[in-house]
Amino acid sequence: MQVAFSADERRVAEQPYYLASGDEVEVFQAAHRQRLPLMLKGPTGCGKTRLVEHMAARLGLQLITIACHEDITAADLVGRYLLHGGETVWVDGPLTRAVRRGAICYLDEVVEARADTTVVIHPLADHRRELNLERLNETLHAPDDFMLVVSYNPGYQSVLKDLKQSTRQRMVGIELGYPVAERELRILVRESGIDEARAMELVKLAHAIRKLDASMLPDVCSTRTLVSTARLMCEGLSARAAAMAAMLLPLCDDAEVVRGLREVVNTYLPQ
């Protein structure tokens, strides 16, 4: 017998998988309904981008992602005139496209962008919800569905790389961290297809590494690296070989630290 699914049921099934750790889904939905910009804070690989992808699908909105870096300019966000077929034509940047389409615009690792670049989002992030296109002498008014979302990793911020208070205070904040063991186990099984017993070994290993001295290890194993490790194991690699390839080598270049981490791996993972 063929089972018929409703449009809502199909949409839920097609959403990128995300397992909430708190009330972040409810906060995200409330911010969208109230047309408030959102700031996601959390360590690398904890699920910030996956949350945005999940919510875009859940809300039925297009998602336009901008990976921020130190060379990005305001024109890269807004748009510029370009030569095309012997003529000069205006080409919208990703931020402008998101405003015109009523999409979610996601500025990933926003603190990596130059401070003068992020100022362009200020009129979008307050009650005006406007984007000024000075080169076109045009002001766009964001439709109700448009949402501005930014993310950054507080562990990497410094005096030179941080969000201005004038930017922060325009936004609603969500703080994310690595999931507790039970939730991280469920994520690993769902995302990689690995069995629960081996997934639990990886989770215990990750939690042990996260407790190590931060001065020795400035970064730790993320949920993302755990998923990569589990996927390699599903391809037939031993647990230790997969952990070395997906968790330890990307984490650190110091040979002595890697040797110490290998001992931790050998303690928690079988041959």
Tell me: the pLDDT tens digits for 72-117?
989 999 999 998 888 999 999 999 999 999 999 999 999 888 877 8
* pLDDT tier for residue 1 given thresholds of 50, 70 and 90: very low
pTM, two decimals, is: 0.88
| Cα–Cα distance, 107 to 231 (Å, whole number) | 28
Over range 156-166, report the average pLDDT.
63
Nearest to 192 by CA among 220, 221, 229: 229
**Per-residue pLDDT, 255:** 87
**Domain regions of the chain by residue span:** 7-175, 181-268
Average pLDDT in the chain: 89
Cα–Cα distance for residue pair 247/230, rounded to 1 Å: 10
Overall average pLDDT of the 24-39 stretch: 97
Residue 5 scores a pLDDT above 60: no
Q: Do residues 15 and 57 lie in contact, with contact meaning Cβ atoms separated by under 8 Å? A: yes
CA angle, 92 then 64 then 58, to 5°: 145
Residue that has been written with the tokens 């936004």 in this structure: 171
Q: What is the mean pLDDT of residues 192-217?
A: 89
pLDDT confidence band for 159 (50 / 70 / 90): very low
- How far apart are the C-alpha atoms of 12 and 250, rounded to whole Å? 34
pLDDT digits (tens, 9 = 90+) for 47-82: 999 999 999 999 999 999 999 998 998 999 999 999
Report the Cα 31 to chain-centroid distance in Å.
17
Percent of the chain predicted with pLDDT > 90 = 68
Which pLDDT belongs to residue 215?
65
Give the fold, CATH level 3, of 7-175.
Rossmann fold (3.40.50)
Res. 4 pLDDT band, cuts 50 70 90: very low
